[in-house]
Chains A and B, each alone.
Chain A
């Protein structure tokens, strides 16, 4: 154990004291410069990626100051020998006396243009180059200050991959520009395609004018794929920016596209064996850094370490290419994260909320169902109770009506008798030789009045006997009491009792069933009339009062009788409790049921003058102002 720790400490010490930064520190004191010669528009994705990768790699490895000069030669679009000569003159003029620490030249044609300048101005300055084809290297001189890489656009491998992914492919459309540099690449492409002879028919769209290209692309058959190479100029020599053009072409292109240019991935390309231009830049940067550090790259010329199998997941999905067909080393980019992955958090919340809601809704539904059932049950019970109450109330009214029968008969007989008398009298008055018309008319008027009176009596009787559904309507308690008092006035008179109504000033709105409420009053008053029969006539007095008591309205029936022999007044309200020889003992119990059904209270108390006072308190109908 102890020797191991000692070994680790030793290693750590060595590492700390021999860091490369410490080794190159003296060289870093003076600024270094690098001139980079780019063939084309430095803002195109491939160029920009190379330049950025290169710069980043050098800067990352070099501690001192660095200057980068970028020269773009526009070589794809301008390629005349005169132009190349003038360029060389320009550089000789521009960089006379300027000695960079490294030169980078991209692409074989650029290297070709620059070699003379390099020889003239900067002998001994390392030139790092990129050749697009190994074969181009043959044309390059062997010199100690030259080092570089060659690109391998793996057209063949890419097409093999395409066939592997889409086995039904029978044709390949070649999409490529028509610039002179590009034309110089055609043979290499043809060579690669030659290996597919018999397996793939070639639809050669290379160097076509734009319009035709678009048309041909749109009309591709279903067993075709597209191989995209460079797009620097169309068949008429017009300079084009490859990716921008491709994006436009892609809109009407319905077949899968493969390419070897990494920078195109993500723009509607299925994938391929790609050149990563960023990695190319870094590779070059590494070589430059080697030169700056005084350690020339070994070997001086090699293949660029830039290839990668890369695919666009969206395109794979679009053409229904199963992932299983991809080589294991392939990188799948632009993987469309599933909704679940992209919105995992939100989805979790939504799902949780949804689940919670579902549970809640279910609970509510169950609850509602239960409540509905309970409500229905309660409703049935209430209906039943109401029906029972209504029934009982009706029976009670019938009983009361029976008790009042002779009173009613008497009351009805009075107007009938008067009518008959008046009719006979009128007849006589008009019969004689000198008819007394005036008196006869008076008799007829009296007949009409008595007829009305009789009708009223019948009405009251009918009201009493009506077997009606329990209703909830707005009534004036005083009016209800008044009607009952009128109904019983005659009976009271015959019993020699004074029946007095003392109504509250103003209406006493109450919501309920008029028949039932009147029945309560009827019972209370007839009971009171029964009670006062026990005392001598002048003292027989029943007072009916209505009053407002805060939110409640009250009806009081006070009698001047002897009071109750039963000390517990609550017993009066028990069913079948009666003090009357022919009583059923149901009246007060029904009354209490009625009042309680109206949300009120009915109780008995001794009256100040010795009798009983029955009090009935009902909730007032507060909506009076709005109605």
Chain B
């Protein structure tokens, strides 16, 4: 499961390494874009589409880890595959904590690299799918009035209409009306479905 149009962004200061990685990934069927400095890549990070980043840990100006932080700060969620000349545990732990897909030792085995890249792209695709879903839900949620949202939230908590009415200081009849409109707007048929949806939304990090 990869996103159509996904690209692999290679950031490496070494021209021949860059070129060889590009060649390898291209012949594995990937679209590749290369950057010779981390800064050049960071500059356009916000506008990047789907894909993943293959980056050398050790680069002048900015290290791979610094690039990772920079990307996060810029809100770029592209997964990173690190390549390093020496297995520095501290560095690798940091990278993995920062969400790196893998921390590969140079010279990199092509199968490992392609596997890592594949996983990265999957994760990116998954992330992108979740994002799409969440955005759709959020969009539907945005259709509710504040009172309908309050009613839904209480429904999700498992309260009865009467209890919700008491809670909100409105009549049971009004609660029913809000609830009917909300379920219609959100496209759910039962209180269970509604409750699931809201739980999902909460999970995606949006209230």
Query: Residues of A with Cβ closer than 8 Å to B?
Result: 406, 409-410, 413-422, 424-425, 428-429, 436, 439, 442-443, 446, 449-450, 453, 493-496, 537
- Nearest residue (CB) in B for A415 is B16
Q: Provide the bound-state CA to CA distance between A325 and B37, in Å.
A: 124
- In the complex, what distance in Å separates the CA atom of A464 from the CA atom of B26? 39
The tally of CB-CB contacts under 8 A between chains A and B is: 84
Q: Check B21 against A428 for contact (C-beta < 8 Å).
A: no
A418 to B22, CA, bound (A): 10
Closest to A447 in B: B20
Contact indicator A421/B85 (Cβ below 8 Å)? no
Q: A425-B23, A425-B24 are in contact. Are A420 and B85 (CB under 8 A)?
A: no
- Inside 8 A of B19's CB, which chain A residues have their CB? 418, 446
Assess the A421–B24 pair: CB atoms within 8 A: yes
A414 touches B60 (CB 8 A): no
In the complex, how many residues of chain B place their beta carbon closer than 8 angstroms to a beta carbon of chain A? 24
Report chain B residues within 8 Å CB of A436. Answer: 27
Among B20, B28, B59, B60, the one with the most A-chain Cβ atoms within 10 Å of its Cβ is: B20
* Chain B residues within an 8 Å CB radius of A494: 58-60
What B residues does A446 contact at CB under 8 A?
16, 19-20, 23
Interface membership of B53, Cβ < 8 A: no
| Binary flags per residue of B77-120, CB closer than 8 Å to A gives 1, else 0 | 00000010110000000000000000000111110000000000
Q: Are B28 and A428 in contact (CB under 8 A)?
A: yes
Inter-subunit contact B107/A420 (CB<8 Å): yes
Asked if A425 contacts B16 (CB within 8 A), the reply is no
Q: Give Cα A453–Cα B17 distance, bound, in whole angstroms.
A: 12
Contact among B14, B20, B61, B108 with A443 in the assembled complex (CB-CB below 8 Å): B20
A417-B17 contact given A409-B86, A410-B85, A494-B58, CB 8 Å threshold: yes
Chain B residues with Cβ below 8 Å from A493 are 13, 60
User: In the complex, A240→B61 CA distance in Å?
Assistant: 130
B85 touches A413 (CB 8 A): yes
Q: List 27 A-B contacts (CB under 8 A).
A: A409-B86, A410-B86, A413-B107, A414-B14, A415-B16, A417-B108, A418-B14, A418-B16, A420-B20, A420-B107, A420-B108, A421-B17, A421-B24, A421-B107, A421-B108, A425-B20, A425-B23, A425-B26, A436-B27, A439-B23, A439-B27, A449-B16, A450-B16, A453-B16, A494-B59, A494-B60, A496-B60
A416 touching B27, Cβ below 8 Å: no
- Residue-wise, chain B 1-28 has the 8 Å CB interface mask toward A (1 for contact) of 0000000000001101101110110111
Complex CA gap A530/B107 in Å reads 29
B residues 126-146 with Cβ under 8 Å of A? none
Tell whether, in the assembled complex, residue B24 and residue A424 are in contact, meaning their CB atoms are under 8 Å apart.
yes
A422 CB, nearest partner CB in chain B, Å? 4
With a cutoff of 8 Å between Cβ atoms, the chain B residues found around residue A421 in the complex are: 17, 20-21, 23-24, 107-108, 110
Determine the distance from Cα of A436 to Cα of B108 in the docked complex, in whole angstroms: 23
Contact of B107 among A406, A416, A453 (CB under 8 A): A416
Chain A residues with CB under 8 Å of B86's CB are 406, 409-410
Q: Which residues from B are CB-within-8-Å of A425?
A: 20, 23-24, 26-27, 110
A335 to B106, CA, bound (A): 111
The answer to whether A416 touches B24 (Cβ under 8 A) is no
Given contacts A446-B16, A453-B16, contact A416 B106 (CB under 8 A): yes
Question: Measured between C-beta atoms, what is the minimum distance from A600 to chain B in Å?
Answer: 34
Q: Which residues of B contact A496 (CB under 8 A)?
A: 60-61
Please give me the 5 A-B residue pairs with the lowest Cβ-Cβ distance, nearest first: A421-B20, A424-B110, A420-B107, A425-B24, A418-B20
- The answer to whether B107 touches A422, judged by C-beta atoms less than 8 angstroms apart, is no
Q: A409 CA to B85 CA in the complex, in Å?
A: 7
In angstroms, Cα B106 to Cα A416, docked, is 8
- Complex interface: chain B residues within 8 A of A424 (CB): 24, 110
Q: How far is the CB of A461 from chain B (nearest CB, A)?
A: 15
Complex interface: chain A residues within 8 A of B26 (CB) = 425
Q: Which residues of A contact B17 (CB under 8 A)?
A: 414, 417-418, 421
Name A431's closest neighbour in chain B (CB-CB).
B27
- Whole-angstrom CA separation of A329 from B27 in the bound complex: 137
Give the docked Cα–Cα distance between A449 and B16 (Å): 9
| A420 CA / B23 CA spacing, docked (Å) | 11
The docked-state distance in angstroms from the alpha carbon of A428 to that of B23 is: 10
How many whole Å from A385's CB to the nearest CB in chain B? 39
**13 more A-B residue pairs beyond the given contacts A420-B107, A421-B21, A428-B24, with a C-beta to C-beta distance below 8 A:** A414-B17, A417-B20, A417-B108, A418-B14, A419-B20, A421-B17, A421-B20, A421-B107, A424-B110, A425-B20, A439-B23, A443-B20, A494-B59
- CB neighbours (8 Å) of A416 from chain B are 106-107
Contact B23 A410 (CB under 8 A): no
Contact B58 A410 (CB under 8 A): yes
Contacting pair A417 B107 (CB below 8 A): yes
Across the interface, which residues of B come within 8 angstroms of A418, CB to CB?
14, 16-17, 19-20
What are the residues of chain A within 8 A of B20 when measuring CB–CB? 417-422, 425, 443, 446, 450
A542 smallest CB distance to B (angstroms): 14
Closest residue of chain B to A430, judged by CB? B27
- What residues on A are CB-neighbors of B24 within 8 Å? 421-422, 424-425, 428
Q: How far is the CA of A420 from the CA of B105 in the complex (A)?
A: 12
